[in-house]
Structure 1
Amino acid sequence: MPTALIAEDEDLLAAHLRQELKALWPELQIVAMATHGEEAVAMALEHQPEVCFLDIRMPGMTGLEAAAQLADDWDDRDGRPFPLLVFVTAYDQFALQAFERNAVDYVLKPVQRERLSQTVDRLKAALAQRQPAPAALEATLAQLRGLLGGAPLPGASSTASASNATGAAPLLRHLQVGVGDAIVMVPLDEVVYLEAADKYVRVLTADQEYLVRISLRELLPQLDAQRFWQVHRGHIVHVDAIDRVHRDDTGKLTLRLRHRPERLAVSRMYGHLFKAM
C-alpha cells in the first residue's frame, strides 16, 4: 500500500488535499500531516513515506528548504528510496517555469481535482519504476538544486533576485557592519565564513565576529559565486579559507578551515561541489 505525507500549514487546504487524494487514489495511505517545515522533516524521517506533498509557503522552512533538509538527513543505507516530491504552490507562471524545467511535480492552490489526477497518474507510474536508493536520491538532489537556483523563494529580496538574474547589480566587496555608534567596513576578502542566525548573519573573520541585519538568503545573491560557496542551509564559506575536506565512513563531508577552529558540515545538497581532480 503506497504511503504519503502532507505538509500544509492551512488546515482547510490540508483537509481538502487529503479528501481529494482519497477520492482519486483510495489505496494511498496518509501516514502523517505536518503544519510546518521542521515538523515535515521529522515526520518524514519517522514514517518514511513514499510520497511527500510539501507546501512551498510554510512557517520557518519553505517546502524547498524542508525537502533539502530531508535529503540531507535521509538514511538510504537500508535501500529505501527517497520519497517522491510534489510541491503545492501559489506561485505565478514565471516561477512555475522552474518547476517544469526541473521535473519535480507540483499542483497549484487551490488544488483542482483534474490537475491532481494527472499528478496521481505520474506518481503511480514513478512508483512502478523506482530507481535504487542512491540513484533516486541523487536525481532528487539535482532537481532541488535547480529549483533552489531558479525559483525565487518567499521572503527573498526581490531587488537582489532581480538584479542577480540580470547581472546588473555589482557584487559586494565589503560588508557594512554596525558596531556601537560606528560602521565597520569588513572586506569580504577577510571573511572566512558566514552563518545564518535567525534574521541575522554571523560574519566570521580569522579573529573577529560580527552580526549583520540581513538573512543569508538575501545576502547570497550579492556575493561572488566563484569565491563564496553555500555548503549548508546555514553556512556560506569563502573558498580560499577551506584547508581540506574530510569524508567519513557514511560519505558525509566536513570542512577544515584556515584561521578558524570550527568544522563545517557539508550537506548532501552541496556535496557535488567537492570532487578530487
Structure 2
Amino acid sequence: MATALIADDEDLQRGDLRRLLAQVWPELEIVAECEDGDEALAAIAAYRPDVAFLDIRMPGSSGLDVARASEGRCRVVFTTAYDAHAVEAFGVGAQDYLLKPIALDRLTQTVARLRQQLAAGAAMPDLLRMMGEMDRQLRVSAQAERIRWISTNSGNTIKIFPIEEVLFFESDSRYTRVVSATDEGLVRTPIKQLQQGLDPGQFWQIHRGTLVAVRAIARARRDEAGAITVELRDHTEQLKVSQTYAWRFKSDVYVG
C-alpha cells in the first residue's frame, strides 16, 4: 500500500487535499498531516512516506526547504498558488505541481503518474536541479515587490533601516528584531511575511525564526555534536542554524 504525507499550514487546504485524494487514490494511506515544514521533516524521517504533498509557503521551513533536506527519501508534489505560467516556466515534470485550488481532474493526472512510477520503481527526479530553477523563477517574479527599507518604532523615535544595512532578522512569538551593524529595532511583522519581500539569494533562512544576510556571514562553525553556528562580519552575536537548514553549509563549514 502506498503512503503519503500532507504538509500545509492551512487546515482547510489539508482537508481539501485529503478528501480529493480519497476519491482518486482510495487505497493511499495518509500517514501524517503537518502544519509546518519542520513538522513535515520530522514526519518524513519517522514514516518514510512514498509521496510528500508539500505547500511551498509554510511557517518555519518552506516546502522547498523540506524537499531539499529530504531529497531521495520520497517523491515530492508541491502545492502552490503561484500563477500557472510561472509554474510551467520552471521546466520540470507536471506531476511535481498542483495549483491551488486543486482541481480533481488535475490531481487525477498527477496520481496516475505517481502510481505508474511507484509500480515501475522509477528513479527519483532531480529535485536539486528542479528547485534551483524554481528559486530563480520565484526571484524574478517577486523582484518588483522587494522590501527596500524597514521602519521601527521605539517610544517617540522612528528608526529607518535600509535593507542593504540589515544583518539579520530574528523573531519570537510577538516581535521581530531588525539588526544592523550599529543599531537594532523591533517590528511586529513575522518572519514569514518579511521573507516574501526579501531576495532569497541575499537573505537565507537558517532557523525557524532567523533570516541572515548572506553578505554578513563571516563563517560557520560546527561543534562536536554537529550543531552549526554562524558568525557575522560586523556583529558579535552568533546565530544558531537548525538542522533543517544545515544543507546550506554542507561545503566550507569551519570546525573549531
Fold equivalence (TM over 0.5): yes
Q: Deviations over 1:163-186 (max 9, x none)?
A: 15xxxx7x73x5322111111234
Q: Do structure 1's residue 14 and structure 2's residue 13 form an aligned pair?
A: no
Provide Cα deviations, 1:165-224, integer angstroms capped at 9, x if missing partner.
xxxx7x73x532211111123455653322244575311234643112434455457667
In the TM superposition, what is the alpha-carbon distance from 1:17 to its structure 2 partner?
1.5
116, 121, 134: which is aligned to 1:147?
134
TM-score by length of 2: 0.68
Residue 248 of structure 1, CA deviation: 6.1
Tell me: CA distance 1:194–1:249, structure 2 relative to 1, closer, same or farther (3 Å).
same
- Please tell me whether residue 191 in structure 1 is matched to residue 195 in structure 2: no
Question: Root-mean-square deviation (CA), in Å?
Answer: 4.1
- The SS at the match of 2:237 is coil
Q: 1:107 is matched with which residue?
A: 98
Cross-structure match for 1:155: none
Contact preservation (8 Å) 2:56, 2:64? no
Aligned-partner Cα distance in 2 for 1:268–1:177:
31
Query: What's the offset of the Cα at 1:21?
Result: 1.0
Aligned to 1:260: 236
The Cα shift of 1:14 comes to: 1.6
For residue 184 of structure 2, the aligned residue among 204, 209, 212 is: 209
What's the secondary structure of 2:45's corresponding residue?
Answer: helix
Task: List runs of 5+ in structure 1 lacking aligned partners.
Answer: 153-159
Separation of aligned partners in 1, 2:199 and 2:42: 34
Matched pairs, number: 240
Return the alpha-carbon distance in structure 1 between the equivalents of residues 74 and 64 of structure 2.
10
CA-to-partner distance for each residue in 1:245-268, whole Å, 9 max, x for gaps?
A: 235689875422242232331715
The answer to whether the 8 Å contact 1:5/1:30 transfers is yes
Identity %: 31
How is 1:10-159 mapped onto 2 (pairs within 5 angstroms)?
10=12, 11-22=15-26, 26=27, 28-32=28-32, 34=33, 36-37=35-36, 39-55=39-55, 61=59, 65-69=62-66, 71-72=68-69, 74=70, 81-89=72-80, 91-97=82-88, 100-103=90-93, 105-108=96-99, 109-113=101-105, 115-124=106-115, 126-127=117-118, 128-130=121-123, 139-151=126-138
Report the residue type matching 2:237 in the other structure: P
Equivalent pair of 2:168/2:211 in contact (CA under 8 Å): yes
User: 1:3-55: per-residue Cα shift (whole Å, max 9, x none)?
Assistant: 22234623354223223112xxx4x44323x1623554443332121211235
Q: Does 1:244 align with 2:244?
A: no
The code of the aligned residue for 2:65 comes to: A
C-alpha distance in structure 2 between counterparts of 1:88 and 1:52, whole Å: 10
CA distance in 1, matches of 2:107, 2:197: 38
Q: How far apart, in 2, do the equivalents of 1:225 and 1:12 lie?
A: 30
Q: Is the 8 A contact 1:17 1:111 kept in 2?
A: no
3-state SS of the aligned residue for 2:6?
strand
Listed one character per residue, the Cα deviations across residues 71-126 of structure 1 (whole Å, up to 9, x for unaligned) are 44x5x8xxxx321111334544234335x52446123444324x334323432454
SS in 2 for 1:101: coil
**Matched ranges for 1:159-238 at <5 A:** 161=142, 163-164=144-145, 172=148, 175-186=150-161, 191-197=166-172, 200-206=175-181, 208-219=183-194, 228-232=202-206, 234-238=209-213
TM-score normalized by structure 1? Answer: 0.64
Match of 1:270 in 2: 248
